[in-house]
Structure 1
């Protein structure tokens, strides 16, 4: 069956879209972002007039050729049986073309983009882009704030932080995740950058989950702690480390800081966000906790 008329990827220039009129390709092309009107056989623009004139000329030539064939039927029987149907200039792709959908872009409201590390992260319900946050590595927060239970200040029930690991030459995601989770817990629940203790200090912690994880198609590792604080319900922190796909492929660490208790975000959001992380140059490559991919050259899971 022939596909219906519409804009489809041009078989000769996949970065463009071309108008399929239901039976053949036309000469109308556009970039995927363009919103040009559907071309018609007649119009007020100069281009439409040019197309109409060209089409009329082609019909006239076809009529002349057909007349010549009919007139010559008595002289040449082979000409009399010749077909007069002109061949099409291009066949539709097989299978039939389908309209392009496109991958999420940096302007997509459902994702946030970490351009430095070349990844996008899904913006789930209840999460917003950071506002009035001093740490430039924070990529999203829960919506709203509350008064910290310890020292004066404003706290948030959830933070997601994405940064490049540059503190040493270590490349093992497992080693780096185990090192980072301690600092992540201290930064979030013990003492802030100006010496305040928004939760009265961190009293204890325990590892609740850890292991290999595939993130944006790369082999990584995660460690999750449950933290008990002097004031407030405490919380959960997780450090997820995986190699970047950009530049020198330096390790990327995505930190999660979730308050415990009924006001904190669902703990499952950590896994949902991890699973939804994508590389900007490979938007189809996903992952998630419990998934794994084979490490690339020089890319181990550590020991």
Structure 2
């Protein structure tokens, strides 16, 4: 918002080296050479005619026919009395714009009356969409084998390894129990993975068939220090063997039902398939499920196999 200045001499917007008479509404044709600066004239309320401000102090007097101003001492005294009031609010700027034709447009002097607006931005505050909650303690419902570039779904009743000394463990059933041979602690289910070596075979079928006996012995015959927590394996039965699609790749599985000297025994499966990372070397995933009511559902083997994904997919 601005206030229209009172009548007086101002810098001529079309000839800055001269002063021109502003009658309070519009510019007149009266011009003169600038005089020594005098005290500014107090503003008169009213809307601006054009919207600009003078750049020189206001000078008193009215124009004569010859363009000179009157110099009556009374007028000078009256104008000087308002100098203090006007000093704080008068600003002088001549705004010269260009009309549509490219010529300069004369604008009237104005007085700025609106205080500056503080446009400092408010402190950054996160929006509801930016405020992320803490991730679940167990993270996403998958486990990842970074070395072989695969993930498996973490099914209900299964957890990531806790206090497990065996290598290559991806997940176990939750909790432990006293092993049937009355020493140590056993788990009802385990899933491991490892990269197949050249000695394991050249195809998923050969790898799975060569691995199943090793997997059964490690799970139900002897532990890492040579003990037999289940009293040893007495027999086994092939429950299934054949091709299977794993993460869109051709694999092979072999599943045994193992009978032990003590306890209900269990199921062991070796699954071999090529991965989609690195050189594509085959990976072997082993499933170990205790038999009996306390063991995990046998259907979880198939659910886990169907849920395997490559980290590159």
**Do the two structures share a fold, i.e. TM-score over 0.5?**
yes
CA contact (8 A) 2:188 2:295 kept: yes
Aligned to 1:93: none
Instruction: Tell me by how many angstroms 1:251 deviates.
Output: 0.9
Which residue pairs with 1:224 in the alignment? 255
Displacement of 1:152 in angstroms is: 1.0
Deviates more, 1:131-140 or 1:120-129: 131-140
Q: How does 1:100-115 map to 2 (within 5 A)?
A: 108-115=139-146
Dislocated runs of 4+, deviation >6 Å: none
Give, in whole Å, the separation in 1 of the partners of 2:281 and 2:228. 32
**Do the aligned partners of 1:151 and 1:200 also contact (CA within 8 Å) in 2?**
no
* In structure 2, C-alpha distance between the alignment counterparts of 1:164 and 1:242, rounded to whole Å: 10
Query: 1:128: which partner in 2?
Result: 159
**Take 1:118 and 1:229, find their aligned partners in 2: how far apart are those partners?**
34
Number of the residue aligned with 2:123? none
Larger Rg: 2
TM-score (norm 2): 0.55
Match of 2:310 among 265, 276, 279: 279
Deviation at residue 167 of structure 1 after TM alignment: 5.2
Q: 2:178 aligns with which of 147, 150, 161?
A: 147
Find the counterpart in structure 2 of residue 12 from structure 1. none
Q: Does the aligned pair in 1 maintain the 2:195–2:281 contact within 8 Å? A: yes
Alignment of 1:241 onto 2:262: no
Name the structure 2 match of 1:156.
Answer: 187
Q: Is the 8 A contact 1:222 1:238 kept in 2?
A: yes
TM-score by length of 1: 0.57
Structure 1 unpaired stretches of 5+? 1-67, 69-106, 283-303
Alpha-carbon RMSD: 1.6
Q: Which runs of 5+ in 2 are unaligned?
A: 1-99, 101-137
Superposition deviation, residue 136 in structure 1: 2.8
CA deviations on 1:185-223 (whole Å, 9 max, x unpaired) are: 000000111010000000000101111001111100000
2:91 paired residue number = none
Higher relative contact order (CA 8 A, sep 6+): 1
* Structure with the bigger percentage of helix: 1
8 Å contact kept, 1:151–1:196: no
